[in-house]
Amino acid sequence: MIVIYGCYRSRATRNIWLLEEIGHPWRLERVVQHYRVAASARENGIVHTRSAAFLARFPAGTIPVMQDGDVWLSESLAINHYVTRNYGGAFAHHSDAEDATSMQWTLFGATSVEPSALALSVLSQAATPDATEIDAHERRLDRPLRVLETVLERGDWLVGDRFGVADINMAEILRFAASRPDMLSRFPATAAWLAKCQGRPAFQRMWALRSSEPAEIAARTS
């Protein structure tokens, strides 16, 4: 049984999607972002990313964290590679080259796509979105999105000829940019691939869990 410390409205979605995809047993131990917890709830038994007990084990104070027996890992994308290698079965990489190519796309996503995609997600939710900043981040994404578009024009998936962990990691990173549908529609192969990824039953199960979680965590009543 893999334990994910985190909550549904966090990057734990990446891990939950994968675990659902491969059918490996998991459970969630709830830890929420400190800024989502109502002040009244902080002293009321809600574990959050600034709770002393959580920080004592993970000074970075971020979720998700994974526990698998004696193995503790943070970093959602690294967790997914660990789970794939150890429990992926037929879903796991078939060779060292596939494994390395998968890691290549995961790192490309984390370094070239995630910063601006995340910024776009935050900027789009602002009461008065800053159009100049939004434009700057869309420009920064142009080159990495052209790279993805080229790859996805040539094949259905990022690695080999089947859906894999690189697709989950990249799709979850790109989801941050969903608030900019006009930008994504300039990359039709990428947009079609994202829709295909998100149409998978395992994504849908994860998404139902995420949607069931309130944005603000109130104090416990019992």
Q: Does 160 bind ligand GSH (CB under 6 A)?
A: no
Short-list 103, 193, 183, 180, CA closest to 143: 183
- The answer to whether 118 touches 180, Cβ cutoff 8 Å, is no
Contact between 106 and ligand GSH by CB under 6 A: the answer reads no
Residue from 30, 34, 196, 210 touching ligand GSH (CB under 6 A): that is 34
Q: Given the rule CB under 6 A, which of 37-45, 59-67, 135-143, 165-173 is the region that contacts ligand GSH?
A: 59-67
Residue 36 vs 180, nearer CB to ligand GSH: 36
The site map against ligand GSH for 110-129 (x = CB under 6 A) is: --------------------
How far apart are CB 95 and ligand GSH at their closest, in Å? 26
Six token digits for residue 101: 């190519």
Q: Which of 2, 11, 119, 217 binds ligand GSH (CB under 6 A)?
A: 11
Nearest approach in angstroms of CB 156 to ligand GSH is 26
Contact 26, 13 (CB under 8 A): no
Binding flag, residue 61, ligand GSH (CB under 6 A):
yes
Q: How far is the CB of 127 from ligand GSH (least distance, A)?
A: 21
Q: Is 63 in the site for ligand GSH (CB under 6 A)?
A: yes
In the complex with ligand GSH, the residue whose CB is nearer, 68 or 75, is 75
**DSSP three-state, residue 220:** coil
In 3D space, the residue among 221, 139, 134, 152 whose CA is nearest the CA of residue 191 turns out to be 152
Sequence-separated (6 or more) residues with CB below 8 Å from residue 149: 187, 188, 189, 190
The yes or no reply on residue 102 touching ligand GSH (CB under 6 A) is no
Q: Could you give the CA distance from residue 171 to residue 168 in angstroms, rounded to a whole number?
A: 5
Structural Rg of the chain based on CA atoms: 18
The residue within the footprint of ligand GSH, chosen from 75, 133, 156, 213 (CB under 6 A), is 75
Closest contact distance (angstroms) between CB of 200 and ligand GSH is 21
Q: Which residues pair with 66 in a beta bridge?
A: 4, 73
For the CB of residue 135, give the shortest distance to ligand GSH in the complex, in Å.
25
What's the CA gap between 134 and 128, in Å, rounded?
A: 12
β-strand pairing of 2-6 with 65-68: antiparallel
Helix (H, G, I), strand (E, B) or coil at 4: strand
Give the footprint of ligand GSH on this chain (CB under 6 A).
10-11, 33-34, 49, 61-64, 75-77
